[in-house]
Amino acid sequence: MPTEQHEPVGSFGDLTPLLAPRSVAVIGASDRPGNLGGLAMHFLGKFGFKGQVWPINPGRPTVGDRPCFPDLASLPAIPDLAIVAVPADAVLGVVQDCIAAHVPAAIVWAGGFAEVGGEGREKQRALEEVVRGSTLKLCGPNCIGVINTSIGMTASFSSLMTELDSFTPGSVSMVSQSGGTGVTAHGRAQQLGLGFRVGISCGNEATLGIPDFIRALVHDDGTRVIAVYTEGLSDPPGFLDALAEAKRRRKPVVVLKGGATEISSRAALAHTGRLAGMDRTYDAIFREFAAIRVYSMEEMLDVCLQLAALAEGQLPAGNNMLVSTFGGGSGVLGTDQCLREGLAVPPLDAETRARLLPIMTPLGSSANPVDLTPGSVTNPKHRANLSAVLRTLIDAPAVDAMLFFGAGFSELAPDVAAMFNDLRHYSKKPVYLSWLSPPPGIREGLAAQGVIAFDEHCRAVRAAGNIARYVENLQHRIVQRPELRRDFPWQDFVAAGTQVVSENVVAAILEAAGLPVARGRIATSEAAAVSAALEVGFPVAIKAISPSITHRAASGLVALNIDTQQVVARTDRAFRARAAELGATLDGLWVQHMAGAGRELLVTALRDREFGVLVGCGMGGAETEIIDDAVFTRAPIDAGGALDLLGRLRTLRRLPKLIAPDRLAQAAEFIAGFSALVAGAPWESFTLEINPLKLAADGAMAVDGLLVLK
């Protein structure tokens, strides 16, 4: 057998031999009923793979109608891909043979590795060790394999292929940790008449993982949309790098994340522990890298297939929707659904409505939502104008995209479908189609032209909402800026072994870092408390400082709006008596100037075990847990990113005038500086929480803080 390597060809980079091979060896193939290798041979023939296929089995002269070879060395050439169709105990030896024969890529289907623990985990470690340092690109083990519909390459034993006579090629490619989930998604796309391009089951990811496959698909010109199903990340930094590359190349990645609802228990002393779980962490990552997060297979397919149906560059410029219906009720419901998805349905401008007046049916409505009425189709006179009406609507200056809600129309349905197709080719703005009850053949005819016709209006609206958010995320400034990370002498403020760092120390840290803090002084006696109040200025707040009491207000150890020396002295005596009742030792009283009236925010940071230090913000003060409105991103960020992060808060989206622009800008500057500080925090596990950050007339300033270490 020749020893030279095949040069990779195609558009998948160094994974081309795996995803688009020119030749395949099936190791372990036989004609024995139930043999997976033999099944693979059958599928490669059934779906028209044009490359060379060589079965390998030392005990068989033929498999099917093909001559069988005893080993890799006996093949006429080096295969691009080896399908390792042998039991787990034989895998290691076969993979070693592939490496020795300079085979570029292999797929291991067998289970019985890390997923079963114990000895299986040791088998996988041995497999990883053998492959490490070699040039072999290995997919699996414990996977269903790879299907490339564009070339009929079926390196898989998926049951899907027993149910199909042919593949419908598409431009959506999917990589899935779950073979069953990937097969189900591909099968559903087939049923819709739209299909997939490449389906990858990556299994245990012994060497190649989801990041490697995302990168390969990003570079594939035939893949327009990448779908991902993942339950856990074996390589978080690689995952981020792959998403960053997809974002740079403007190739959408749609992610269905399983197992993201575990509640974090870190920092239970602070609000952050209840606000920042795995789910919000993944939200932060997907937002930063413009990955579209979905929550069901249906939603994943809807978004992927709708994106694939758009022309190159046919993304909405904003979130303003034109809702077009043939009945008023659908328009009302569609508008409600748009608003729930964060989409706007603005009224049409006067000029557009004037242009519509002479060509619309008199019973129609040119408001938005637009009611075209059934008569615009059933009346030949109005039907002749309908294309012009639709073009006028999509051309409206305030419209970024259009929702086209179809109706039955029986024998006239093909005319409506033709008008829709004309409209989507006419405009650079996307048009989403929902058709509840089209006559037979209409949905299939549209699918043949690459169009997904939703069978429920809310699904079309949800897909439109996801696409609008994707465009927004491509443009935001919420991006990690590692160069802004600052060095800080944490050891000068926090002694080794400390678990809870009190408010006065946190204030000192923030002040030393140049961040604005409400003036405060620690007092260890009644006289010192009075002196501190005079120094920081009335009115003051007084809060007990004790390592054993963190919820001070609930313990009766917080007093606000104190405006005389006498009340300061009386409060000092009362707090010391209360601490004695609780059996707590006071380190002192924190006497702090009361900031003026203003909105309150939460600003927080923590270290995530997968993605490093995160910074977050939310509605603060007493509203923090009641509203449960917080967003996070990786630290550090700049002021522009912080301003965009604040703009993601639900409260501020619904009430954009709640905080004045100048106050928001001050908050953004604080968050940016805070993120640069915490990005260099030295602890493996920590939470630093400022609650509240007061946005008062004299600027943003931290009022209360807590640092909790593992």
- Give the Cα separation of 368 and 379 in Å (integer): 23
pLDDT of residue 4: 43
If phi over 0 gives left and psi between -120 and 50 gives alpha, with beta otherwise, what is residue 205? left
Q: Which fold has domain 519-593?
A: Dna Ligase; domain 1 (3.30.1490)
pLDDT of residue 535: 95
CB 167 within 8 A of CB 47: yes
CB 589 within 8 A of CB 576: no
**Burial track 662-683 (b if 16+ CB lie within 10 A, e otherwise):** ebbbbbbbbbbbbbbbbbebeb
pLDDT of residue 277: 54
- Give the Cα separation of 168 and 160 in Å (integer): 13
Evaluate the CA torsion angle 48, 220, 240, 283 in order and state its sign: negative
**Would you tell me how many other CB atoms lie within 10 Å of the CB of residue 58?**
9
Here the tokens at position 304 are 């992927």
pLDDT of residue 9: 40
What is the 8-class DSSP label of residue 74? G
pLDDT of residue 11: 85
Q: Which fold has domain 311-475?
A: Rossmann fold (3.40.50)
Q: Which fold has domain 13-307?
A: Rossmann fold (3.40.50)
- pLDDT tens-digit series, residues 557-574: 999 999 999 999 999 999
CB 341 within 8 A of CB 318: no
CB 468 within 8 A of CB 401: yes
- pLDDT tens-digit series, residues 267-315: 434 444 444 457 888 999 999 999 999 999 999 999 999 999 999 999 9
pLDDT of residue 355: 96
Evaluate the CA torsion angle 287, 288, 292, 295 in order and state its sign: negative
pLDDT of residue 389: 97
Here the tokens at position 6 are 């095949």
Q: Which class does domain 599-709 fall in? A: alpha beta
C-alpha pair distances (Å), 94 with each of 71, 88, 384: 10, 10, 68
Q: Which residue has the tokens 């140049």?
A: 514
- Give the Cα separation of 91 and 124 in Å (integer): 10
What is the 8-class DSSP label of residue 625? I
Beta strands in 231-290 (DSSP E): 253-257
* Closest C-alpha among 146, 137, 162, 135 to residue 43: 162
Q: Which residue has the tokens 């040791």?
A: 122
- Give the Cα separation of 599 and 139 in Å (integer): 53
- pLDDT tens-digit series, residues 492-529: 999 998 988 989 999 999 999 999 999 999 999 999 99
Length of the chain: 710
CB contact set of 34 (below 8 Å; sequence gap of 6+): none
- Give the Cα separation of 507 and 675 in Å (integer): 16
CB 103 within 8 A of CB 135: no
- Give the Cα separation of 37 and 156 in Å (integer): 9
- Give the Cα separation of 84 and 140 in Å (integer): 10
CB contact set of 532 (below 8 Å; sequence gap of 6+): 520, 521, 522, 523, 540, 591
pLDDT of residue 272: 46
The answer to whether 13-307 and 311-475 have equal CATH topology is: yes
Low-confidence stretches of the chain (pLDDT beneath 50): 1-9, 263-276
- Give the Cα separation of 562 and 579 in Å (integer): 20
* Closest C-alpha among 311, 313, 319 to residue 346: 319
Domain ranges of the chain: 13-307, 311-475, 519-593, 599-709
